[in-house]
């Protein structure tokens, strides 16, 4: 009897042990085992599209498919290799080798395959071959706006530009299909398929007007070729709200054929220079100095020069023991008896030195700060440069004297365009923007990106006076190559010498022109920058005609009637 | 009449025992089909690959069980030396190239074409028969070292041959059996201690000789320390049991049989049973096992003939030890060893000879 009891006791221990494993520990064991029982196939969310302000598609998706093989499940490997190579054009030999090697659970046969090919594949019905939908990004205009739009990885992740900044909006959330498999990933006969659908990304609408963009691209491409410049950039803004209508950097690259293998070239070509790089603006900066003077004059500041004040006609000024010269030799009555308007027409440096020094460090820097110099504009783009402005506490009079006509200061193209736009639009500095709205997949606008007024720069009266003067620059001054009969174009040229290693680099210039029209109610503002043109280098001859081309194209595109 | 091989027993024997054994064999076929149909289809292109073999074994086993039930067990006595010799020869044959079959790094089988037998399965019963015959003939022999010697020599010879296959679990099984047979035959403390001490010393020595045994030992303590190597099989067994819960996932619905659990149809069939039938199913199964053991012990106790007593006890012991060790292995309570669950696990040698032994057990019950 004791033997029976002993054996019964042992069986009780066994049963207790099984009770512990199966009933008490069971749930945790199942949780641990779930991973090995299931496999997932991703359901790729559609990436949102990018449209221009008028709803033109800039970046969309082509529905394509990825094809996978699970070698363990492919019964007839040579047949499968033959059929797959026939459909997708992959090398039959190497595919067969991969299928037979058997040390991987899954191989990728083809990526971004067309839907028609998948239909052929389905017709062949080869066991062990799977496909899943993926999206290939397609850019409607190839090179246009490439640095701004940016590109995605082959997995549809935004890598640069707006694709990266708005990745969380565009990307959506992938879903998955989960099913039970055996140890090597073959679907089991009583599989439980769990489907979690993908949430598609939202689309975004930009402030960009693709027609203006294309026109600007064309003009910039032409000047790049004719001037032999190192690079050219351009921005077209709506001065009334700082919508970026066009943004061009050339040379560029094709978004549909990104040179991913050559990182150095890609980094150079994909840089949005007009936002991320700085340059010494030269005479275009005089617009801001003039604006400060006019406002101070209207404010009753006795130090400011009135519009009728006649500046000293000497070619030079002596400040802190250094001599500042005008670019012109002032011979034969050139640059004599100039008022502020004429100083702008002639782009006479000493007059603007006088203004900067007369207003003084404190007042002049107040205006520079209001115009956003030395600070980011806050545009919705990554890597915006700050520009360079000597700190007010360190600035000497000789620096101030040069800042007055755009030297000893560095800006981004965007910064200058915004500063000028705020000076001519009645004195309103907005945050420039590229995103206009977010549109959900059903087409409804879910988020409107409204203009944000950052600060006032000058008064409407001062702005109106400035506009008239800048209209004069185009009508009868250095900007006359931008003149368009009847459209009241206004603007200012700029020619800056480039510095290398602290010294003036001979023969290297940045030619630029900032212009807008119509002068009494600016609707379009363009800044054209030509970096290191060969031969002719004056902003008036190199950059102003380009702005004129762009404005003429805008007039044609928008069918704008003459204003006078 | 005297030399007739088959003889109607004096009275009806323990019929419930035979019913349970036959039921177990049939149940084993069902479970083997469930556990192996997927593996069979994927690896051999036939989902009945394993179960067909088992059904053949079960049919032969039934015939053998019936035959043994009608052969008076005393006629087995003269077979003690031939059978022991045959076992030793077969165990040696395992190592003859061309005859021995190596699987999973162990040479445990001898094969003729697709037919393989596992000599160690036969050796266990040959040893039981030899010990029972020896101690019943030389009454009181078990009290002296000299009298125990023939049994010990045979047992140790078998153990040595089995351990170098290697097959640790059946070696221990035979070792335990050796101790139990001597103990059952009425030994005294001195002799028993003489045997027991070397056996206890042998265990750590054997572990030290083959480092993989130590790895298995550590795997049993924490299988998740090496989830892809030593701990893998135990983890998969626990997953199966855990998935079963109270009532199981239902017959044929095992997830672990999809090649996650190695040896699902043989040494680890208890895991699949636990997964498909749940804790409750296993309790019922163990109750039947306990019933068989209880019947075996009862038969031995009722037997007034020392040979019958030792034979019945030995047969019951072989069955009981295997069930208990297998249950402990599957539940991760002792280090994993390759030992089948008798009557249920796939493997014809084990099935046929176990059923035959149960026939002998019946005959003992019917002739006393």
Cβ–Cβ below 8 Å for B279 and A25: no
Q: Which of A3, A21, A184 is the closest to B241 by Cβ? A: A21
Strand order in the sheet with A243-250: A243-250, A231-238, A524-531, A503-517, A490-500
- Domain assignment present for residue B155? The answer is yes
Contact list in A for residue B246 (CB cut-off 8 A) is 22-23
Task: Please tell me if residue A503 touches chain B, with a CB cutoff of 8 Å.
Answer: no
Place of tokens 């705020």: A422
- Domain assignment present for residue B168? The answer is yes
- Domain assignment present for residue B3? The answer is no
pLDDT in tens, chain B (368 residues): 445 777 777 778 888 999 999 999 999 999 999 988 888 888 888 888 889 989 999 999 999 999 999 888 888 888 888 989 999 998 888 888 877 777 766 777 787 766 778 888 889 899 999 988 888 888 777 777 778 888 888 888 898 888 887 777 788 888 888 888 888 877 777 777 877 787 778 777 777 777 776 776 676 777 787 777 778 888 889 999 999 989 988 888 888 888 888 888 888 999 999 999 999 999 999 999 999 999 999 999 888 888 888 899 999 999 999 999 899 989 988 877 778 899 999 888 889 999 999 999 999 998 87
Task: Please tell me if residue A30 touches chain B, with a CB cutoff of 8 Å.
Answer: yes
- Domain assignment present for residue B204? The answer is yes
Phi, psi of B305 (to 5 degrees): -90, 125
Contact list in A for residue B320 (CB cut-off 8 A) is 7
Kindly report, residue by residue over A385-406, the tens digit of the pLDDT: 999 999 999 999 889 999 999 9
Reported ipTM exceeds the 0.95 cut: no
Spell out where chain B has E strands: 100-103, 106-112, 115-117
Concerning whether A440 is annotated as a catalytic residue, the answer is no
pLDDT at A321: 86
Contact list in A for residue B293 (CB cut-off 8 A) is 7
Contact list in A for residue B253 (CB cut-off 8 A) is 190
CA distance B15 to chain A (A): 20
Contact list in B for residue A181 (CB cut-off 8 A) is 258
Cβ–Cβ below 8 Å for B241 and A186: no
CA distance B100 to chain A (A): 30
- Domain assignment present for residue B273? The answer is yes
pLDDT at B33: 93
pLDDT at A1: 63
Phi, psi of A425 (to 5 degrees): -100, 15
Q: State both tokens at A211.
A: 């027609």
pLDDT at A191: 66
Of A73, A227, A270, A283, catalytic? A283
Task: Please tell me if residue A2 touches chain B, with a CB cutoff of 8 Å.
Answer: no
Q: Cα separation of A272 and B194, whole Å?
A: 92
CB atoms near residue B82 (< 10 Å): 10
Q: In angstroms, what CA-CA distances link B79 with A441, B122, B123, B128, B152? A: 87, 13, 13, 12, 18
Task: Please tell me if residue B247 touches chain A, with a CB cutoff of 8 Å.
Answer: no
Place of tokens 């040896």: B263
Q: Which residues are within 8 A (CB) of A13 and not within 5 positions of it... i.e. 6 or more apart?
A: none
- Ramachandran area for residue A304 (φ above 0: left; ψ -120 to 50: alpha; else beta): beta
Phi, psi of B72 (to 5 degrees): -55, 130
Q: Which of B245, B324, B333 is the closest to A22 by Cβ? A: B245
Q: Which residue of A has its CA nearest to B326?
A: A14
Q: Which residue of B has its CA nearest to A15?
A: B283
CA distance A28 to chain B (A): 8
Contact list in B for residue A183 (CB cut-off 8 A) is 258-260
pLDDT at B60: 94
Q: Which of B244, B260, B297 is the closest to A36 by Cβ? A: B260
Contact assessment for residue B252 and residue B276, using Cβ atoms and an 8 Å cutoff: yes
Instruction: Please give the interface size between A and B, counted as residue pairs whose CB atoms are below 8 Å apart.
Output: 96
Q: State both tokens at B259.
A: 């090649």
Cβ–Cβ below 8 Å for A11 and B289: yes
Helix, coil or strand: residue B110: strand
Interface test with B, best of A14, A15, A31, A72 (most B CBs within 10 A): A14
Contact list in A for residue B36 (CB cut-off 8 A) is none
Spell out where A418-489 has E strands: 428-430, 435-439, 445-448, 453-456
Q: Which domains does chain A have, with CATH numbers?
A: 45-73+80-87+105-206 (3.90.1310.10), 210-558 (3.40.710.10)
- In this prediction, the residues of chain A whose per-residue pLDDT falls under 50 are none
Contact list in B for residue A3 (CB cut-off 8 A) is 297
Task: Kindly state the helix (H) or strand (E) to which residue A247 belongs, with its residue range.
Answer: strand A243-250
Task: Please tell me if residue A105 touches chain B, with a CB cutoff of 8 Å.
Answer: no
Q: What is the mean pLDDT of chain A?
A: 89
The strand pairing partners of A510, in sequence order, are A496, A531
Q: In angstroms, what CA-CA distances link A147 with A160, A275, A276, A504, B49? A: 8, 10, 11, 30, 65
pLDDT at A102: 64
Contact list in B for residue A38 (CB cut-off 8 A) is none
pTM for the model: 0.65
pLDDT at B116: 76
Contact assessment for residue A169 and residue A202, using Cβ atoms and an 8 Å cutoff: yes
pLDDT at B1: 40
Of A470, A450, A459, A475, nearest to A422 by C-alpha is: A459
Q: How far is CA B177 from the centre of its chain?
A: 11
Q: Which residue of B has its CA nearest to A10?
A: B324
Q: Which residue of B has its CA nearest to A17?
A: B331
Contact list in A for residue B289 (CB cut-off 8 A) is 11
The strand pairing partners of B178, in sequence order, are none
Q: Cα separation of A185 and A339, whole Å?
A: 84
Q: Which of A19, A29, A188 is the closest to B239 by Cβ? A: A29
Q: In angstroms, what CA-CA distances link A234 with A52, A205, A272, A334, B139? A: 18, 21, 11, 32, 115
Q: Which of B38, B279, B332 is the closest to A22 by Cβ? A: B279
Percent of chain A with pLDDT over 90: 51
Cβ–Cβ below 8 Å for B242 and A3: no
Q: In angstroms, what CA-CA distances link B22 with A450, B156, B346? A: 84, 33, 15
Q: Cα separation of A545 and A551, whole Å?
A: 10
Q: Which of A17, A30, A186 is the closest to B243 by Cβ? A: A30
Write out residues 290-319 of A within 8 Å (CB-CB) of B.
none
Q: Which residue of B has its CA nearest to A32?
A: B239
Q: Cα separation of B99 and B109, whole Å?
A: 8
Task: Please tell me if residue B259 touches chain A, with a CB cutoff of 8 Å.
Answer: yes
The runs of H, that is alpha helices, within A299-374 are 340-346, 349-370
Phi, psi of A527 (to 5 degrees): -120, 125
Q: Cβ-count burial of A375 within 10 angstroms (0-12 exposed, 13-18 middle, 19+ buried)? A: middle
Q: Which residue of A has its CA nearest to B239?
A: A29
Based on the structure, what is the number of domains in chain B? Answer: 1
Q: Output the CA torsion B81→B83→B89→B92 (10° steps).
A: -110
Interface test with A, best of B242, B272, B295, B326 (most A CBs within 10 A): B242
pLDDT at B269: 93
Task: Please tell me if residue A327 touches chain B, with a CB cutoff of 8 Å.
Answer: no
Cβ–Cβ below 8 Å for B255 and A37: yes
Contact list in B for residue A188 (CB cut-off 8 A) is 38, 255, 258
Task: Please tell me if residue B38 touches chain A, with a CB cutoff of 8 Å.
Answer: yes
A285 HSE (CA, 13 A, CB side): 33
CA distance B122 to chain A (A): 25
Task: Please tell me if residue B242 touches chain A, with a CB cutoff of 8 Å.
Answer: yes
Cβ–Cβ below 8 Å for A3 and B243: no
Q: Which of B253, B259, B283 is the closest to A190 by Cβ? A: B253
Q: Which residue of A has its CA nearest to B37?
A: A189
Q: B269 lies in which domain range? A: 15-366
Of A478, A517, A474, nearest to A494 by C-alpha is: A478
Phi, psi of A196 (to 5 degrees): -120, 120
Helix axes B49-70, B15-39, angle to 10 degrees: 160
- Domain assignment present for residue B5? The answer is no
Write out residues 180-239 of B within 8 Å (CB-CB) of A.
238-239
Cβ–Cβ below 8 Å for A17 and B331: yes
**DSSP code, position B305:** S
């Amino acid at each position: 009897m004791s033997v029976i009891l002993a054996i019964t006791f042992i069986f009780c221990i066994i049963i207790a042990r099984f009770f512990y494993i199966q009933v008490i520990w069971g749930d945790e064991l199942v949780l641990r085992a779930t991973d090995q029982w299931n496999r997932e196939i991703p359901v790729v969310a559609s990436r949102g599209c990018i449209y221009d302000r008028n709803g033109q598609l800039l970046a969309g998706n082509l529905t394509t498919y990825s094809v996978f093989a699970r070698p363990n499940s492919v019964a007839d490997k040579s047949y499968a290799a033959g059929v797959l190579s026939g459909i997708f054009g992959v090398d039959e030999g190497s595919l067969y080798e991969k299928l037979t090697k058997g040390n991987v659970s899954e191989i990728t046969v083809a990526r971004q395959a067309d839907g028609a090919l998948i239909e052929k594949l389905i017709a062949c019905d080869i066991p062990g071959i799977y496909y899943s939908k993926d999206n290939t990004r397609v850019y409607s205009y190839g090179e246009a706006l490439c640095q701004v739009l940016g590109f995605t990885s082959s997995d549809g992740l935004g890598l640069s530009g707006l694709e990266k900044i708005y990745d969380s909006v565009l990307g959506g959330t992938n879903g998955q299909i989960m099913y039970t498999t055996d140890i090597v990933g073959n679907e089991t006969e009583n599989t439980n398929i769990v489907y979690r659908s993908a949430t598609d990304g939202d689309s975004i609408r930009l402030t960009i007007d693709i027609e203006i963009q294309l026109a600007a691209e064309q003009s910039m491409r032409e000047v790049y070729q004719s001037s032999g410049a190192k690079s050219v950039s351009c921005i077209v803004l709506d001065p009334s709200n700082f919508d970026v209508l066009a943004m061009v950097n050339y040379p560029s690259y094709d978004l549909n054929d990104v040179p991913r293998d050559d990182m150095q070239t890609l980094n150079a070509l994909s840089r949005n220079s007009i936002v991320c790089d700085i340059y010494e603006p030269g005479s275009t900066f005089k617009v801001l100095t003039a604006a400060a003077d006019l406002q101070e004059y209207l404010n009753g500041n006795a130090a400011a020069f009135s519009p009728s004040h006649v500046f000293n006609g000497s070619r030079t000024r002596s400040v802190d023991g250094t001599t500042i010269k005008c670019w012109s030799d002032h011979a034969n009555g050139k640059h004599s008896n100039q008022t502020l308007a004429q100083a702008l027409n002639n782009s006479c440096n000493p007059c603007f030195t006088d203004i900067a020094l007369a207003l003084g460090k404190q007042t002049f820097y107040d205006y520079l700060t209001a115009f956003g110099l030395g600070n980011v504009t806050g545009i919705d783009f990554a890597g915006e440069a700050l520009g360079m402005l000597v700190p007010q506490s360190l600035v000497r009079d000789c620096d101030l004297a040069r800042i007055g006509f755009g030297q000893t200061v560095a800006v981004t193209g965007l910064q200058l365009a915004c500063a000028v736009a705020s000076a001519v639009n009645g004195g309103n500095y907005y945050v420039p923007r590229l995103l206009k709205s977010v549109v959900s997949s059903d087409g409804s606008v879910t988020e409107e990106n409204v203009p944000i007024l950052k600060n006032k720069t000058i008064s409407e009266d001062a702005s109106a006076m400035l506009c008239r003067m800048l209209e004069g620059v185009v009508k009868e001054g250095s900007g006359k190559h931008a003149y368009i009969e009847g459209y009241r174009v206004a603007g200012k040229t700029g020619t800056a010498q480039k510095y290398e290693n602290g010294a003036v680099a001979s023969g290297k210039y940045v030619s630029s022109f900032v212009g807008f029209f119509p002068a009494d109610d600016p609707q379009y503002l363009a800044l054209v920058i030509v970096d290191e043109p060969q031969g002719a280098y004056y902003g008036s001859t190199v950059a102003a005609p380009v702005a004129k081309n762009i404005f003429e194209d805008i007039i044609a595109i928008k069918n704008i009637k003459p204003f006078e | 009449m005297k030399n007739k091989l088959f003889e109607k027993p004096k009275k009806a024997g323990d019929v419930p025992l035979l019913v349970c054994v036959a039921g177990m064999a049939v149940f084993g076929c069902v479970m083997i089909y469930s556990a192996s149909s997927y593996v069979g289809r994927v690896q051999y292109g036939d989902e009945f690959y394993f179960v067909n073999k088992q059904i053949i074994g079960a049919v032969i086993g039934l015939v053998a069980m019936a035959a043994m039930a009608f052969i008076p067990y005393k006629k087995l006595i003269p077979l003690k030396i031939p059978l022991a010799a045959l076992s030793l020869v077969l165990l040696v044959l395992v190592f003859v190239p061309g005859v021995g079959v190596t699987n999973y790094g162990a040479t445990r089988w001898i094969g003729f074409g697709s037919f393989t037998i596992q000599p160690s399965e036969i050796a266990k019963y040959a040893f039981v028969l030899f010990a029972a015959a020896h101690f019943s003939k030389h009454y009181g022999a078990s009290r002296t070292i000299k009298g125990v010697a023939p049994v010990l020599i045979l047992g140790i010879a078998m153990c040595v041959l089995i351990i170098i296959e290697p097959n640790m679990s059946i070696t221990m099984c035979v070792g335990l059996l050796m101790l139990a047979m001597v103990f059952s035959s009425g030994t005294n403390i001195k002799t028993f201690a003489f045997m027991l001490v070397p056996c206890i010393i042998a265990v750590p020595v054997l572990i030290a000789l083959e480092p993989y045994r130590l790895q298995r030992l550590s795997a049993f303590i924490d299988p998740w320390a090496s989830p892809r190597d030593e701990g893998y099989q135990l983890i998969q067994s626990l997953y199966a049991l855990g998935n079963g819960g109270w009532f199981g996932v239902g017959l044929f619905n095992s997830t672990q049989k999809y090649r996650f659990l190695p040896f699902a149809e043989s040494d680890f069939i208890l895991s699949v049973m636990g997964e498909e039938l749940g804790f409750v199913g296993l309790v019922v199964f163990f109750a039947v096992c306990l019933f068989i053991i209880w019947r075996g012990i009862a038969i031995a106790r009722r037997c007034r003939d020392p040979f019958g007593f030792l034979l019945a006890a030995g047969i019951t012991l072989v069955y009981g030890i295997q069930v208990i060790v297998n249950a402990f292995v599957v539940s991760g309570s002792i280090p994993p060893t390759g030992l089948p669950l008798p009557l249920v696990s796939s493997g014809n040698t084990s099935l046929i000879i176990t059923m035959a032994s149960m026939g002998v057990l019946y005959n003992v019950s019917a002739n006393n």
